Chains A and B, each alone.
Chain A
Amino acid sequence: MIDNLLLLTQVPILGVDLVIQGLFIGAIFALVAYGLALVWGVMNVKNLAQGDMVILGGYISYQATLWGYHPIVALPVAIVVMFMLGWLIYAVIIRRVVDRDMFTSLLATFGLSLLIQQILNLIYGPEVKVADAGFGDFELGTFIVIQNVRLYSLLMAAALALAIVIFMKKSRMGQAIRATAQDARAARVLGIDTDQVYAFTYALNAAICGAAGVLVAMIWVIQPYYGIVYSIRAFIIVTAAGLGNLPGVILTGFGLGVWENVAGFVFGAEFAVAAVVLMLVAVLMYRLVQLYRVRQVVR
């Protein structure tokens, strides 16, 4: 660890590189976590199939390359297909568990996660797949190499996130979603079809996951069982950012990407995940302390 810190002080450009690469990683995590926060906040469903939906999106872009298309073509396709699939999943499964207790929805989405994994395994087999974008790269100074595909992904993730935020603020459906999140019963009283809102929210989340998956397949690797990586990261981010804090989710996503990369460098890759979880613990403890303080003031 000391060696790594020394190295970092001797070659400070390494630090810049780590932060930049971390931001790229964080962009994808932020996107996935945003979708999770939406479903969690609006429907109170903890979607354990989140990561598997990402991988599903990845396979859509892989399929596109099999058919001879560039994987980026799959981005709009994945958004549309996953939106429809999300709606279907809502109608068949989630609708039945949305008002039940937490464990029912956990079990249902866990089952869904297994189902997606096994279906993907049956169709594509267990081997690792990639979708190569071939966008090239450029060098920043003498040391840092920036992959264009990562840069584009960052921009696309940012654009998608921005579009969603505007949609939530301005559009009728966005307002309905926020109203439902605040108080579903009151929203119903005021004439909002909450069932419709739930379906739309879940489908929107699936579409976001699909888009993230396309980017994942172009940057990293996909395999039917790798969804868990994204599920875990998304849950950590949403928990750390706090429910109902959607801009916070995006910031935390970026922060997690950078922190994971830097911690992996300094403490060794085996402690990267531990460092992330420690960060979560620290955030939760800080919040708890804040909470006590507020209570004391009230008393």
Chain B
Amino acid sequence: MIITRKHLRTMTAAVAGVAALGMAATAQAKVEGDTIILGAAISLTGKYATNGVHAQKGYDFAVDKINETGGVTVDGKSYKLKVVYYDDESTPARGAELAERLINQDGVKFMLGPYSSGLTKAIAPVTEKYKIPMVEAEGASRSLFTQGYKYMFAVLSTSEQYLASAIELAAEVAEKQGKKASDVTIAMAFENDPFSLDVRAGVVDDAEKFGMKIVVDDKLPRDLSDMTSTLTKVKALKPDLLVISGHSKGAATAARQIQELKIDVPMVAMTHCEAADITAKFGAGPTEGILCPTQWSETLAYKDDLMGTAAQYNSDFQKAYPEYSTVPYQTAMASMAVQVWADAFERANSFDTELLRDALADTEMQTFAGSVKFSEAGNNIAKPMVLRQIQDGEYLVVAPTKWAAAELRYPRQPEY
């Protein structure tokens, strides 16, 4: 086709028209009438879909709850909340693209985070660039909080805290038995990926603090399907504590092979036991006594005015979504993020993103899922990690001892 001047003129006009429309949308879309629009790119398909959907339901549940109880009051007027979602297909590039789209085309000024650290890492530079505040609930990697981000706030505990509590527990137990904490020996098996290495860094820091000796330090390659060589070493060296982190695959493989090789270590802690559902896969006997960290548990004594206690949140959520037999922590964290936003709107008493950012930075609140107080870096420093132990097939909170629902069973007595 030959482009004539006339063509060019029509094209220019069309482009200008589209641009004008886009700008008009931008000017209005952050608050439409009496509705505040929040935006989120979240994994609804792809490999993070399960947890992405958990997070989405958590957002939706909190939004509904807030809207039912009168919404959010800003400048004397009551507003409802609404979330615009896009599916990032579990790919970081798509997540970043959708964040641009939410901000530039849909005019969203208030963001909720995606699922997983990887996606959060992809989206945070975008929200930062446009100075759009984001409250995220599903990205725990500590590398997220070393970038100097000013507009990102995370309600969950960071990943280096995941298994650090197990080290403290081991020290506690050793002292109770009249031994020194520094006598404790540790075997570690961590997948060679950013998340698990963060978890490992937390464990190493705490082990150093107590002067414990690390006797096995294996980094499992991502495509490893067998842990025999690591576990053979563990079997020969008989450490006091075995810590494992390798997502669901690592948890399932470890649980299976600990049973197969009849590993006899008095204390075993691993991440993702629940995601991998090891009790259902391998039964209560072989998994007895395994410690599993979690961001949240419905048996904790936390509460707030909107959701009530953790137990109440649990039962209300199950009423709203009967397909859930247990409420995953991803859901609780997501609900907590929406509560943080609502609180910030009311305290800022404005829709100005800068005022809102400052209000978020000053957050100091109690929720059903734990306290919130952000550090300079944007991570929540008021909420500890919870450690649960599998006891007769049930997950019971055993640490921190302050909120523990059950006594720690030590040493673990599995039936292989």
Interface residues of A (CB under 8 A from B): 4, 7, 11, 14, 17-18, 21-22, 25, 121, 125-128, 130, 132, 137, 143, 145, 147, 216, 220-221, 223-226, 228-229, 232, 261-262, 264-265, 268-270, 272-273
Are the CB atoms of B233 and A126 closer together than 8 Å? no
Within the assembled complex, what's the spacing in Å between the Cα atoms of A220 and B228?
11
Are the CB atoms of A21 and B232 closer together than 8 Å? yes
Within the assembled complex, what's the spacing in Å between the Cα atoms of A228 and B225?
11
- CB neighbours (8 Å) of A226 from chain B are 223, 225, 249
Closest to A21 in B: B228
- CB neighbours (8 Å) of A269 from chain B are 189, 218-221, 224, 227, 229-230
Are the CB atoms of B227 and A221 closer together than 8 Å? no
Interface residues of B (CB under 8 A from A): 46-50, 189, 192, 217-221, 223-230, 232-233, 235-237, 248-249, 251-253, 256, 260-262, 275-277, 281-282
- CB neighbours (8 Å) of A7 from chain B are 233, 236-237
Are the CB atoms of A18 and B50 closer together than 8 Å? no
Are the CB atoms of B49 and A125 closer together than 8 Å? yes
Within the assembled complex, what's the spacing in Å between the Cα atoms of A45 and B8?
50
**Given contacts A127-B275, A226-B249, could you give 17 more A-B pairs where the C-beta distance is less than 8 Å?**
A7-B237, A21-B228, A22-B228, A126-B49, A126-B50, A127-B50, A130-B256, A145-B261, A223-B249, A261-B226, A264-B218, A264-B228, A265-B232, A269-B219, A269-B220, A269-B221, A273-B223
Residue of B232, B235, B236 ringed by the most chain A CB atoms within 10 A: B232
Contact of B229 among A18, A132, A137, A225 (CB under 8 A): A18
Within the assembled complex, what's the spacing in Å between the Cα atoms of A147 and B233?
18
Are the CB atoms of A145 and B226 closer together than 8 Å? no
- CB neighbours (8 Å) of A223 from chain B are 248-249
Within the assembled complex, what's the spacing in Å between the Cα atoms of A224 and B47?
9
- CB neighbours (8 Å) of B275 from chain A are 127
Are the CB atoms of B233 and A4 closer together than 8 Å? yes
- CB neighbours (8 Å) of B249 from chain A are 128, 221, 223, 226
- CB neighbours (8 Å) of A4 from chain B are 233
- CB neighbours (8 Å) of A22 from chain B are 228
| A130: min CB distance to chain B, Å | 5
Are the CB atoms of A265 and B252 closer together than 8 Å? no
Contact of B224 among A21, A225, A272 (CB under 8 A): A272
- CB neighbours (8 Å) of A132 from chain B are 281-282
| A248: min CB distance to chain B, Å | 23
A128-B276, A220-B253, A262-B229 known; A147 vs B221 contact (CB < 8 Å): no
Are the CB atoms of B48 and A268 closer together than 8 Å? no
Q: What are 16 A-B pairs at a CB distance below 8 A?
A: A121-B49, A125-B50, A127-B248, A128-B251, A130-B252, A137-B260, A145-B260, A216-B225, A221-B253, A223-B248, A226-B249, A261-B226, A269-B221, A272-B229, A273-B221, A273-B224
- CB neighbours (8 Å) of B223 from chain A are 226, 228-229, 232, 273
Contact of A264 among B50, B192, B230, B252 (CB under 8 A): B230
Contact of B262 among A14, A145, A228, A232 (CB under 8 A): A145
Within the assembled complex, what's the spacing in Å between the Cα atoms of A18 and B232?
8
Within the assembled complex, what's the spacing in Å between the Cα atoms of A132 and B228?
18
Within the assembled complex, what's the spacing in Å between the Cα atoms of A279 and B192?
22
A125-B50, A128-B276, A145-B260 known; A270 vs B252 contact (CB < 8 Å): no
- CB neighbours (8 Å) of A268 from chain B are 217-219
Contact of B233 among A221, A265, A273 (CB under 8 A): A265
Within the assembled complex, what's the spacing in Å between the Cα atoms of A262 and B228?
10
- CB neighbours (8 Å) of B262 from chain A are 145
Are the CB atoms of B218 and A270 closer together than 8 Å? yes
Are the CB atoms of B232 and A128 closer together than 8 Å? no
Within the assembled complex, what's the spacing in Å between the Cα atoms of A14 and B232?
7
Closest to A131 in B: B281
Are the CB atoms of A18 and B228 closer together than 8 Å? yes
Closest to A10 in B: B236
Are the CB atoms of B232 and A220 closer together than 8 Å? no
Within the assembled complex, what's the spacing in Å between the Cα atoms of A172 and B47?
45
| A232: min CB distance to chain B, Å | 7
A127-B50, A128-B248, A128-B252 known; A221 vs B225 contact (CB < 8 Å): yes
| A15: min CB distance to chain B, Å | 10
- CB neighbours (8 Å) of A273 from chain B are 221, 223-224
Within the assembled complex, what's the spacing in Å between the Cα atoms of A252 and B288?
39
Are the CB atoms of B281 and A272 closer together than 8 Å? no
| B181: min CB distance to chain A, Å | 23
| B248: min CB distance to chain A, Å | 4
- CB neighbours (8 Å) of B49 from chain A are 121, 125-126
Within the assembled complex, what's the spacing in Å between the Cα atoms of A272 and B221?
8
Within the assembled complex, what's the spacing in Å between the Cα atoms of A229 and B226?
11
| A104: min CB distance to chain B, Å | 26
| B224: min CB distance to chain A, Å | 6
